[in-house]
């Protein structure tokens, strides 16, 4: 989470696009909440300004200049992977840069290109 925020030049974790939390201590492990690059992202359908556009390979790209701050994308994400930047009044969504994977001390985060199911 720190790596994601640091990539943008911020301190802390408030503007992180990846969220890691405990699901009951070390025995039970952790949960990672981040955009999973949906092939047909529901958040796009709810954006009235077309500020979210499909990203090649899945997921979305935010066009900040088109975003009006309506927050409808928050309701559209079925994973709860979109958070909100209160200062800039726009969504915080993973951009799939892989920066977090470089700094994960346990090497459990990876950025991989998934091929569409060919069956």
Band the pLDDT of 116: cuts 50, 70, 90: low
- Position 115 scores a pLDDT of 61
Residues 101-113 have pLDDT tens digits of 888 887 778 777 7
CATH 3.30.70.20 holds for 37-78: yes
Residues 25-54 have pLDDT tens digits of 777 788 889 999 988 999 999 999 999 999
Domains of the chain, by residue range, sit at: 1-34+94-110, 37-78
Whether the CB-CB separation of 50 and 61 falls below 8 Å is answered with no
Band the pLDDT of 117: cuts 50, 70, 90: low
Whether the CB-CB separation of 43 and 76 falls below 8 Å is answered with yes
> To the nearest 5 percent, what fractions of the chain are helix, strand and coil?
20, 15, 65
Among residues of the chain, what percentage have pLDDT more than 70?
94
Please list, residue by residue across 73-91, b when 16 or more beta carbons sit within 10 angstroms of its beta carbon and e when fewer do.
beebbeeebbbeeeeeebb
């Amino acid at each position: 989470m720190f790596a994601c925020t640091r990539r943008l030049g911020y301190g802390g974790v408030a503007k992180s696009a990846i969220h890691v939390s405990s699901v009951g201590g070390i025995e039970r492990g952790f949960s990672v909440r981040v955009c999973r690059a949906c092939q047909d992202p529901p958040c796009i359908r709810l954006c009235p300004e077309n500020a979210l556009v499909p990203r090649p390979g899945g997921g979305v790209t935010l066009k900040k200049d088109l975003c009006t701050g309506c927050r409808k994308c928050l309701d559209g994400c079925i994973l709860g992977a979109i958070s909100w930047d209160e200062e800039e009044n726009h969504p915080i969504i993973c951009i799939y840069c892989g920066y977090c994977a470089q700094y994960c001390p346990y090497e459990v985060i990876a950025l991989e290109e998934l091929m569409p199911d060919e069956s």
